[in-house]
Amino acid sequence: MNPTETTFGKVKFRVAGREFTLRQRIAGKFAPWYLVGRINGKRFNHALGTNEAETAKHVARVKFIQPALDQEWGLVAANKKRKHWATVGELIAAWESFDLGGGARHRHAAAQALRLVLRRAGVAEPDAASAGILTGDMVVDYFASVMRLAEQQSTQKAAARVKRSGASMFNQAKSVLQPAAIYHYKKNELPVPDLTEFLAAARMLRKKVLKGAEVMYEPPNWPLIDAVVKAWPLLENWNEFAAIGLELAFGLRKSEVSQARWDWFGVNNGAWRCSADADVKNQSGSLEVPALNPFWAIFWERATAEGAQQRGPTVLQGSDTERCSTAFRRVSAWLRGLGWAKQKTNHALRAYAGAEVALNFDNFQAQAWCRHDSAATTEKYYTRQWRQANSGREGRVSWARVSEVGGS
């Protein structure tokens, strides 16, 4: 094989004195290569199963070019046969049974997202479809449906919201196809296609769809935070009061707020903590963080005075749906009523509390308290924005000691 002439997304090389061409259907270093053109009168347009150009040339020569030049069409046909991939339903069933670090709810949500993505791309019964449909064309069809829906909106703001929602849905669906999951599928003898084209198309199209649709998060200023903190204790509805208190005092995520039980909270070495293992939290990861004062003191004083602990095992009252509605919607509506920005309203309380930890201690303590895998995440999405928006402000929290809260 002679040296090659290479351009972006295209490779030309020679075999037995003849020139052949490899192309990438989608630009990008992760896109797979295809053999295109005619060999002895037969048209070729076949995936070579790799995104490495040198490997692709070798595969093309051995599997297609040399057999075609030798008129061994039976061998060419055998190499062209597609595998019988596992169905999407089989992959999803395996995905929901794996323990890859996320909780059962996360895995179920990702599975549902993948089903929705396929339906919007035109697949009527996703579970019954072959995993071989997970190609670049499927991604194109999905994002085309997102764009059509966005174009039907009456305002640019609504259209941008549809685009962000569509991109977020696709991003969640990709969890089912993460490398760790693929490894387990193959380990369990579930054949899967080469997904490099699928992922390359996703990266390219997601950027195009979101162009101009991203919303930069701007933290509220401290006067607004003070207004929220002062108004919070005055809330008459227990669920709303408790949901905000748990986010401020422990940085709980919304799903954790709706699950929170009274037996998660206790005293360890003289300080209040929130502790729950993965099984207690419905397999959604363990939890071990100290309480922040004065938020926990305010919460605990009211909980004790009203006898809230005797109302039931969960901190928030009512059915699963009612508790989720409080944590996800009613609290956000209340915050927006005070002038809080709409983007990620509810989650921003947790970001604010994490910033307080960083201001009083350091970014690594904030990382541990927020339970982020990386301190860079804490700095980028939590503490840096708050510091830039409110430079010069001192933190006002400390760990909640038993004496400060008023006993156990």
Pairwise pLDDT comparison (46 vs 315), residue with the higher score:
315
Would you place residue 2 in the very low, low, confident or very high pLDDT band (cuts 50, 70, 90)? very low
Structure confidence at residue 344 (pLDDT): 60
Task: Express each pLDDT in 161-217 by its tens digit.
Answer: 888 888 889 988 988 988 888 888 888 778 888 888 888 888 887 777 777 665 555
Looking at the structure, tell me whether residues 258 and 353 fall in a common domain. Answer: yes
In a domain, 183, yes or no: yes
Looking at the structure, tell me whether residues 389 and 287 fall in a common domain. Answer: yes
Boundary residue ending a domain (48, 80, 112) = 80
Looking at the structure, tell me whether residues 28 and 53 fall in a common domain. Answer: yes
Neighbours of 206 (CB within 10 A): 20
What interhelical angle do 104-120 and 136-151 show, nearest 10? 80
Nearest one of 57, 51, 55, 62 to 21, comparing CA atoms: 57
Average pLDDT on 332-348 reads 77
Looking at the structure, tell me whether residues 206 and 270 fall in a common domain. Answer: no
Looking at the structure, tell me whether residues 94 and 44 fall in a common domain. Answer: no
**Boundaries of domain holding 114:** 88-210
DSSP 309: G
DSSP 293: E
**143, two tokens:** 């994002």
Looking at the structure, tell me whether residues 260 and 357 fall in a common domain. Answer: yes
Looking at the structure, tell me whether residues 229 and 377 fall in a common domain. Answer: yes
Pairwise pLDDT comparison (174 vs 278), residue with the higher score:
174
Within its chain, how far is the Cα of 290 from the centroid? 26
Count of residues in the chain: 408
Q: 33 — phi, psi (to 5°)?
A: -95, 150
Average pLDDT on 320-344 reads 80
Residue recorded with tokens 């039907």 = 152
Is pLDDT above 50 for 5? no
CA-to-CA separations, 233 to 267, 303, 407, in angstroms, rounded: 23, 11, 20
In a domain, 285, yes or no: yes
CATH number for 377: 1.10.443
DSSP 129: S
Looking at the structure, tell me whether residues 347 and 278 fall in a common domain. Answer: yes
Structure confidence at residue 249 (pLDDT): 93
Structure confidence at residue 278 (pLDDT): 65
Looking at the structure, tell me whether residues 263 and 399 fall in a common domain. Answer: yes
Average pLDDT on 355-372 reads 87
In a domain, 34, yes or no: yes
Question: Is 374:223 a contact under the CB 8 Å cutoff?
Answer: no
Structure confidence at residue 384 (pLDDT): 78
In a domain, 217, yes or no: no
Average pLDDT on 88-100 reads 83
Q: What does the alpha-carbon distance between residue 336 and residue 344 come to, in Å, rounded to a whole number? A: 11
In a domain, 12, yes or no: yes
Mean pLDDT of the chain: 83
In a domain, 336, yes or no: yes
Is pLDDT above 70 for 129? yes
- Provide the percentage of residues in the chain whose pLDDT is more than 90: 20
Task: Express each pLDDT in 209-264 by its tens digit.
Answer: 777 665 555 677 778 888 888 999 999 999 999 999 999 999 998 888 888 999 99
In a domain, 37, yes or no: yes
Q: Domain total for the chain?
A: 3
Cβ within 8 Å of residue 151, ≥6 positions away: 159
Nearest one of 86, 51, 49 to 64, comparing CA atoms: 49
Of the listed ranges 62-71, 123-132, 138-147, 179-188, the least confidently predicted one is 179-188
In a domain, 216, yes or no: no
Task: Express each pLDDT in 43-93 by its tens digit.
Answer: 888 778 777 888 889 989 998 999 989 888 888 887 776 667 888 988 888
Looking at the structure, tell me whether residues 99 and 72 fall in a common domain. Answer: no
Q: What does the alpha-carbon distance between residue 201 and residue 209 come to, in Å, rounded to a whole number? A: 12
Is pLDDT above 80 for 98? no
User: Which of left, alpha, beta for 294 (phi over 0: left; psi -120 to 50: alpha)?
Assistant: alpha
Boundary residue ending a domain (80, 112, 137) = 80
Looking at the structure, tell me whether residues 185 and 108 fall in a common domain. Answer: yes
Cβ within 8 Å of residue 252, ≥6 positions away: 246, 260, 274, 287, 350
Q: What is the pTM of this model?
A: 0.57
Boundary residue ending a domain (80, 109, 128) = 80
Structure confidence at residue 4 (pLDDT): 42
Looking at the structure, tell me whether residues 32 and 71 fall in a common domain. Answer: yes
Nearest one of 121, 177, 136 to 34, comparing CA atoms: 136
